[in-house]
Amino acid sequence: MSDLRAELTEILDEAEWEWLIPHVQRDAVILVAPELNLVDVGVAIASDNIPSVQQWIDEQLITKPTIVQVGEWNGELRQRDKRFHTLIVQPYVLVQEIVAN
């Protein structure tokens, strides 16, 4: 399991909204709440930790982006420049909004 965590930590990256659009269109993006650790979620999904993943789904801590969110991110110029922490856990792209200070 530690090898998986190390591997996922290494591929943790950032992406602009524009780069994520094709993945949203193929329904592969999972939005992770800021209070969760992106690598922890990736490890749980990759290792089929159903209880943890189901709890996060039930608590709406991991969701698919809503039509409203996608519309906002596609909207104003400042939103189109939005950046996300990203982690690819095939076939999903896990994303977490980077909140501007």
Q: 12-32: per-residue pLDDT in tens? A: 999 999 999 999 999 999 999
Helix (H) or strand (E) holding 58: helix 50-58
Q: Give the pLDDT score at 78.
A: 55
Mean pLDDT rounded to a whole number for the chain: 91
Q: Give the pLDDT score at 73.
A: 84
- For residue 80, pLDDT beyond 60: no
Looking at the 3D structure of the chain, how many domains does it have?
Answer: 1
CA 46 to chain CA mean position, Å: 14
Range of the domain at 70: 2-97
Residues forming beta bridges with residue 79, ordered by sequence position:
none
Confidence of residue 99 (pLDDT cuts 50, 70, 90): confident
Neighbour-count burial of 49, counting CB atoms closer than 10 A to its CB (0-12 exposed, 13-18 middle, 19+ buried): middle
- For residue 79, pLDDT beyond 60: no
Q: Measured between alpha carbons, how far is residue 38 from residues 42, 78, 83, 99 in Å?
A: 6, 24, 15, 15
- For residue 35, pLDDT beyond 70: yes
Q: Which of helix, strand or coil describes residue 47?
A: coil
Cβ atoms 29, 65 nearer than 8 A? yes
Residues forming beta bridges with residue 32, ordered by sequence position:
62
